[in-house]
Structure 1
């Protein structure tokens, strides 16, 4: 239980508690240099937690992207372009022989509508090219893909970031209760209070490649 007063089955929290949980989370992140920060929106009281990571993936992902780009440009007639494309292909193949690297930027926001945190993120190759929803979905670990495959596009969607107005991917909050209820019930059974953000992010983060170090669960307290 987060406050010691809520019913164990409740998966909701108010915005003030959300911010308190985030503050305690960020304090530990800073102590272990885990990279999380609080991003404040200028001229507003709004803000969110943010972390950027580089994730290695199978090279086949960027290989397919490169093949798609080549296919779109096959009708361009200049010999100079064809020579440049061959050079670029050689370079990409050399880099992608083993692994490719993707840049993921994660945002944790509070949803007033759902009264729970929501995980937004965007993904791109190192050249700045954004990944499509299909490509992001292909990078979901098979264990989680199996869990979500019944309604993948309802769970992992692309929407406008509510504070930045930019396209982001998100794990839709409609299934947060499904993720959180077992964790909260276990904590209640053990008479243990938990930090909602730590518990929630530990469950949903790995679905999209975001790991939460175990020390968060042992070092981050619940707000009073």
Structure 2
């Protein structure tokens, strides 16, 4: 997708919208629908601001299917709590009472160095995709996580890196449940935040904007809510700089 000065986003070969089916069999309010054309226009405005502030978002086009999605890769440091590091720490910080003073001093110096390594953050690569769901008629956040040497994290490891403030709610309530699914456009395993209750937080925001006669960009509002759950922050400047498409 082009950014500043981009042309039309919907080509003549764009797919037709399939019938909408909600998770519980109930249709959400019409204000919560997002057709694919509006999704692309919202993304275009979002990407224009991303270029301005150098936020790293891009548009990935699947030319064969005439589809696409927004993409961003972020390096995020997290505290390492692997059993290997724990074992190393326990070995080097054990009882030193039986050692001579000189040897004990050497061991304590080494332990301090190992402890520093154990407490140092591990850097993970998060790749986020904002994909339009024609079945839900709303955007869905897909992502995958790997170490810098290319090892993909398991679902359990991803759960462990979700902020505690969100983790308890995600486990207790079905909205935005963190699961592993096949990417609808790439056919590869990704994690996703299930969109079955997006209406619960989007409808109040959309209704308020309509009441106050304010222009609200769906992607900005939605991503500001779901992104932080999995470590993706949306700068506040998007809210003031990115308007709804005409």
**TM-score band w.r.t. shorter chain:** 0.7 to 0.9
User: Once the two structures are superposed, what CA deviation does each residue of 1:30-86 show, in whole Å capped at 9, x if it has no partner?
Assistant: 1110000000114331110000000111111xx247789xxxxxxxxxxxxxxxxxx
Q: TM-score, normalised by structure 2?
A: 0.72
For residues 24 and 170 of structure 1, the distance between their equivalents in structure 2, rounded to whole angstroms, comes to 24
Stretches of 4+ moved more than 4 A in 1? 65-68, 92-96
- Structure 2 counterpart of 1:212, from 226, 231, 234: 234
User: Once the two structures are superposed, what CA deviation does each residue of 1:166-219 show, in whole Å capped at 9, x if it has no partner?
Assistant: 000000110211231232233233221200000000010001100000000000
For residues 127 and 153 of structure 1, the distance between their equivalents in structure 2, rounded to whole angstroms, comes to 33
For residues 93 and 128 of structure 1, the distance between their equivalents in structure 2, rounded to whole angstroms, comes to 25
Contact 1:25 1:198 in 2 (8 A): yes
Q: Determine the structure 2 residue equivalent to 1:194.
A: 216
Structure of larger gyration radius: 2
Q: Determine the structure 2 residue equivalent to 1:171.
A: 193
Matched, 1:18 2:52: no
* Matched position secondary structure for 1:222: coil
Matched, 1:31 2:52: yes
Contact 1:59 1:99 in 2 (8 A): yes
* Matched position secondary structure for 2:184: coil
Q: Determine the structure 2 residue equivalent to 1:78.
A: none
Alignment of 1:37-186 (within 5 A): 37-60=58-81, 63-64=82-83, 95-151=117-173, 155-186=177-208
For residues 193 and 54 of structure 2, the distance between their equivalents in structure 1, rounded to whole angstroms, comes to 25
How far apart are 1:12 and its partner, in Å?
1.3
For residues 204 and 147 of structure 1, the distance between their equivalents in structure 2, rounded to whole angstroms, comes to 13
For residues 191 and 141 of structure 1, the distance between their equivalents in structure 2, rounded to whole angstroms, comes to 35
For residues 152 and 171 of structure 1, the distance between their equivalents in structure 2, rounded to whole angstroms, comes to 10
Contact 1:8 1:188 in 2 (8 A): no
How far apart are 1:145 and its partner, in Å?
1.7
Q: TM-score, normalised by structure 1?
A: 0.79
Contact 1:9 1:181 in 2 (8 A): no
Seen in structure 2, the aligned counterparts of structure 1 residues 66 and 182 have a Cα distance that, compared at 3 Å, is farther
* Matched position secondary structure for 2:31: coil
Q: Which is helix-richer, 1 or 2?
A: 1
For residues 169 and 223 of structure 1, the distance between their equivalents in structure 2, rounded to whole angstroms, comes to 29
Unaligned runs of 5+ in 2: 1-27, 88-113
Unaligned runs of 5+ in 1: 1-6, 69-91
How far apart are 1:139 and its partner, in Å?
1.2
Pairwise CA RMSD of aligned residues?
A: 2.5
Which has the higher relative contact order, 1 or 2, with Cα contacts under 8 A spaced 6 or more apart?
1
Seen in structure 2, the aligned counterparts of structure 1 residues 147 and 190 have a Cα distance that, compared at 3 Å, is farther
Which has the higher mean CA deviation after the structures are superposed, 181-190 or 212-221? 181-190
Seen in structure 2, the aligned counterparts of structure 1 residues 208 and 154 have a Cα distance that, compared at 3 Å, is closer
Contact 1:180 1:200 in 2 (8 A): yes
